[in-house]
Chain A
Amino acid sequence: MLNVFICEDNSQHRDEITQCVKNYITIEDLPMQIVCSTENPAEVLRLLKDNQASGIYFIDIYLENETDGIALAAAIREHDPRGFIVFITVDEGSYLLALRYKLEAMDYIVKGRDNLQTRIHECLQDAHKKYTGKCTPLQNNFVFAQSKDRVISIPCDHILYFTVTTPHNLIILTAAARHEFRYTLNDAQKRLPPNFIRCHRAYIVNTHKISALHKTILHMENGDTIAAAKKYIPKIKAAMKISQEIS
């Protein structure tokens, strides 16, 4: 169950957002509830203290209060490090862009520019997908922490393959991203589901993402080719067969 918090000082806007969230939850039948809709950040913090579940927070950045939206978001991060924060603001400045990274906010909605309703729907849908993704074992994520407050989580389904350039420099490739950081293939292998197979000294492939196999060359879905070692070929073939049967 996800808890929705709304903190906005303009009462008209607040009602609009609350109504929008309420409607969407009812229509889509999402496991969410609005816990509070307020203009007072202290209220949000008070409720957070005795709240165990993760939450979605819609926060206006410019609050007419001692604690502004940014301070509130920082406080929320301390209580609920994996919660989803959505900023609502009147202007889109570079400052805001940077804050999004600083506080790992999920999204921000610009009043007037964006269609409030569709954006809120998108945020709720996205949060729901990510939240349920965290719980079900099949759709597990590969998670690594770059810093205490920066954790990158990649759904295993998106990963094409892992490779290393030196034994400690791991590269993860998905269709739309490439991550390079300090890690080893052996440690990565331990945390992956069985459809990931070591096919070479320097590669682990997602067998679901192989489009073709020619002798010992694997063709991945994004057009990359990987040379596999001969001894792993039967194992890869077997895994590919299973994945085809499933699909």
Chain B
Amino acid sequence: MFLEIILMHIVLLRLQKEPLRGKKIAEVLIISAAVFIIVLPFQFALPDFTRVAACTIFVLVATAFSFAKENRLAQSVFFACFANMIFLLFAQFSFFVMACGAFILAGEAGKIYENQTKNLDEITTNSVNLFLMIGTGITWLVFIALLVLQQIAPINSTAVIFLNAIIFAMLAILLLVFTNSVRGELNIRMKDESFANMLNYTNSIEKMATDARKFRHDHLNLLHGFDGYFAKNDINGLFGYYKKYANVFREETAKIETDALQKINPPEIRGVIAAKLLSADAAAETKIHIGVPYEFSITTAAFDLCRILGILLDNAVEACEKNSEAVLKFLAVKKDDGILFVIENTCRTTPNLSRIFKRGETTKKDGGGLGLYTASLLIEANPCFSLTTRVEQGFFIQELFVKEQSNNA
């Protein structure tokens, strides 16, 4: 039985993709021994029913702890107990194999969730967690019911195996279905988001086109005005007229040049950047510099990149709105093995750099403090991102480097 616990443990560790090295092996042995010692008295000293109850309570506590703390040790204890219980109570090898199979399935499904849920927002993550907890709960209940049933009215053992097999199969199918639905939802969300970005971009461009038309119209009117003064030969009047309007037009033409953004590919990333920068341009008296010297296209983690850039730009734009003489700089530069995005905005106070990335921390009055926290989660999940945040000479600078990953590597 001891060997069996160790085996289960190793299976579990492999599931978590932990390398088996000296320290880990010792840990496994110690934990297994501990579990063995805890469970052993139950096996001999107590009647079957009490044993089940004690084991169950123990396992439930471990489960609750492991979910609450995401503690690997508690999880290990939990799985080891689980395997042990099955083996103890049914003493049949087929169960053990089935249990292993189910765990591998559940582990794979769990890994898929993990990858996918990192992309989803808070609410969805919570619902996935809830589902997992309920799923585990139901499985446990069924298990215990079965055990109790067997104690009260012993059933033919093949029937029990059969029932268990059905339960595991159902659980596996349920997990697969749920995974697929999560994936589907995520795809829809991604498309929604990039569509919304493109829509914003198009709207901004339309607005610019309207502005341009208006400008042309005004320009013609202005020329007609000159005609009038020329006809009267009124130089002083002409001078005053010119002075009055020249400023207006200078302001009009000082709009940002979004054509630099044409060099950024794919369009959804260009869309995010353009939409945010144009909103800053429309909202306040912010001076915007855009620098994109070379054309590039980035395919690595494009969706996450969109989200991070969106968050960083939103923050920069908001910071600029409060400030009357704000400057916002956006630069995108192609480096040897990746792209460097630099977002700079003027800032008056120096924020605490470690605190602003924590959840719930905010420098805004009514902000949720989730933006940078989400960004740091996304950076953490993708090895290709690295972020440098600096405060230098009155500028708050975010440098996001995206390492390009070739598809064949």
Let me know if B383 and A168 touch, CB within 8 A. yes
**Is A177 in contact with chain B by the CB < 8 A criterion?**
yes
**Is B235 in contact with chain A by the CB < 8 A criterion?**
no
Residues of A near B292 (CB, < 8 A) are: 98
Let me know if B342 and A101 touch, CB within 8 A. yes
Let me know if B392 and A94 touch, CB within 8 A. no
Known: A146-B338, A147-B401, A173-B353. A98 touches B333 (CB 8 A): yes
Let me know if B340 and A101 touch, CB within 8 A. yes
Binds B, one of A19-27, A34-42, A178-186, A187-195: A178-186
Let me know if A150 and B390 touch, CB within 8 A. no
Residues of A near B332 (CB, < 8 A) are: 98
**Is A166 in contact with chain B by the CB < 8 A criterion?**
yes
The closest CB in chain A to the CB of B350 belongs to A176
Number of interface residues of B (CB under 8 A): 37
Within 8 A of B (CB), among A138-181: 146-150, 152, 165-166, 168-169, 171, 173, 176-181
Interface of A is mostly: mixed
Residues of A near B334 (CB, < 8 A) are: 102
| CA–CA, A164 and B196, complex, Å | 35
From B291, B352, B401, A94 is in contact (CB under 8 Å) with B291
Known: A165-B376, A179-B387. A102 touches B333 (CB 8 A): yes
Number of interface residues of A (CB under 8 A): 31
| CA–CA, A25 and B391, complex, Å | 31
Let me know if B293 and A95 touch, CB within 8 A. yes
Within 8 A of A (CB), among B313-372: 329, 331-338, 340, 342, 350, 352-355, 357
| CA–CA, A40 and B166, complex, Å | 83
Known: A169-B379, A176-B390, A180-B386. A94 touches B331 (CB 8 A): yes
Known: A146-B403, A178-B354, A180-B379. A94 touches B336 (CB 8 A): no
Residues of A near B350 (CB, < 8 A) are: 176
Residues of A near B289 (CB, < 8 A) are: 93-94, 97
**Is A216 in contact with chain B by the CB < 8 A criterion?**
no
From A97, A99, A148, A223, B337 is in contact (CB under 8 Å) with A148
Known: A101-B331, A147-B401, A149-B336. A179 touches B354 (CB 8 A): no
Residues of A near B180 (CB, < 8 A) are: none
Let me know if B389 and A178 touch, CB within 8 A. yes
**Is B260 in contact with chain A by the CB < 8 A criterion?**
yes
Residues of A near B340 (CB, < 8 A) are: 101, 147, 150
Let me know if A179 and B388 touch, CB within 8 A. yes
**Is B290 in contact with chain A by the CB < 8 A criterion?**
yes
From A97, A171, A222, B291 is in contact (CB under 8 Å) with A97
- How distant is B168 from chain A, measured CB to nearest CB, in Å? 32
- How distant is B138 from chain A, measured CB to nearest CB, in Å? 31
**Is A224 in contact with chain B by the CB < 8 A criterion?**
yes
Residues of B near A94 (CB, < 8 A) are: 260, 289-291, 329, 331
- How distant is B270 from chain A, measured CB to nearest CB, in Å? 16
- How distant is A185 from chain B, measured CB to nearest CB, in Å? 14
Contact with A along B278-313 (1 / 0, CB 8 A): 000000000001111110000000000000000000
Let me know if B335 and A149 touch, CB within 8 A. yes
Best-buried of B290, B333, B336 by chain A (most CB within 10 Å): B333
| CA–CA, A98 and B263, complex, Å | 13
The closest CB in chain B to the CB of A103 belongs to B333
From A95, A102, A168, A222, B335 is in contact (CB under 8 Å) with A102
Let me know if B291 and A95 touch, CB within 8 A. yes
Q: Measuring CB to CB, which residues of chain B are less than 8 angstroms from any residue of chain A?
A: 260, 289-294, 329, 331-338, 340, 342, 350, 352-355, 357, 376, 379-380, 383, 386-392, 401, 403
Instruction: State the 7 A-B residue pairs at the shortest beta-carbon distance, nearest first.
Output: A98-B291, A181-B386, A94-B291, A148-B336, A94-B289, A177-B390, A178-B353
Can you list 28 residue pairs at the A/B interface with Cβ under 8 Å?
A94-B260, A94-B329, A96-B291, A97-B289, A98-B292, A98-B332, A101-B333, A101-B342, A102-B293, A102-B294, A102-B333, A146-B335, A146-B386, A146-B401, A147-B336, A147-B337, A147-B340, A148-B337, A166-B380, A171-B354, A173-B353, A176-B353, A177-B391, A178-B390, A179-B387, A179-B389, A180-B379, A224-B354
